[in-house]
Structure 1
Amino acid sequence: MNELQKRFFEHLANIQESCVEICMIQHKCDDKTTKSMLYDVTYEAITQIMVMIDGYSTFSENKHDIVNTVTGEHLKENPSIELHDQTEEFLKYE
């Protein structure tokens, strides 16, 4: 995994963490079951978006990519990765 890929998935993990914490605070929840459910649902949502980009969803069977428009660097290249295969390593789920 290259540095761009690692930063991308670390940022997704930070987004997940922020969303779960904000939701818990807004709804005045502090129980473990609710927190686990929120991690699960955010994990599934993010993973399904990655599946869609990878071209394995009903949205499109075409492969998509995320490209840095300044540098031209492709997220899925060097090394070649499937985005949905990487979420388990970075995101929380129960």
Structure 2
Amino acid sequence: MNDLNEFQKAFMETLAIIQETCVQTALSKNGNQSIEEKHYDITSDIIVRIMEFFDGHDNSKIGRLNIICEKTEESLKDNPLIELHDIVCNYLKGTE
């Protein structure tokens, strides 16, 4: 993909790192979880890490991202001000 700009490349590379890290973490865990529990754990881990990425709490060079609804022009993180990675845990299974 040579047509991507530097921001786009960094964004996609960060998502790939999140995926790799979450899969390797899940593979390294030994436990007596059901397959359903394992799926919830890995998907919630990935979602939380993506939200951390958007919040700027990761090691990428990108920094904080702002998600804007094109229809309403509202920011996902404002009014009230929230940290996505904290709030999303209230909605996901596997984040206990």
Q: With structure 2 as the length reference, what TM-score do the two structures score?
A: 0.60
The residue correspondences of 1:8-19 to structure 2 (distance < 5 A) are none
Q: Which residue of 2 aligns with 1:83?
A: 84
CA-CA distance at 1:58 after TM superposition: 1.4
CA distance in structure 2 between the aligned counterparts of 1:50 and 1:60, rounded to whole angstroms: 15
Q: Secondary structure at the match of 1:45?
A: helix
Q: Which residue of 1 aligns with 2:46?
A: 45
CA distance in structure 1 between the aligned counterparts of 2:40 and 2:72, rounded to whole angstroms: 33
Q: Secondary structure at the match of 2:64?
A: coil
Amino acid of the structure 2 residue aligned with 1:74: S
CA distance in structure 1 between the aligned counterparts of 2:72 and 2:92, rounded to whole angstroms: 27
CA distance in structure 2 between the aligned counterparts of 1:87 and 1:72, rounded to whole angstroms: 21
The 4+ residue runs of structure 1 with deviation greater than 4 A are none
TM-align CA RMSD: 1.5
CA distance in structure 1 between the aligned counterparts of 2:72 and 2:66, rounded to whole angstroms: 14
The number of residue pairs the alignment matches comes to: 63
Q: With structure 1 as the length reference, what TM-score do the two structures score?
A: 0.61
Q: Which residue of 1 aligns with 2:74?
A: 73
5+ unaligned residues in a row in structure 1: which ranges? 1-31
Give 1 or 2: higher helix fraction.
Answer: 1
5+ unaligned residues in a row in structure 2: which ranges? 1-32
Q: Secondary structure at the match of 1:74?
A: coil
Q: Which residue of 1 aligns with 2:93?
A: 92
CA-CA distance at 1:63 after TM superposition: 1.4
Percent identity for Structure 1 against Structure 2:
37
CA-CA distance at 1:83 after TM superposition: 0.1
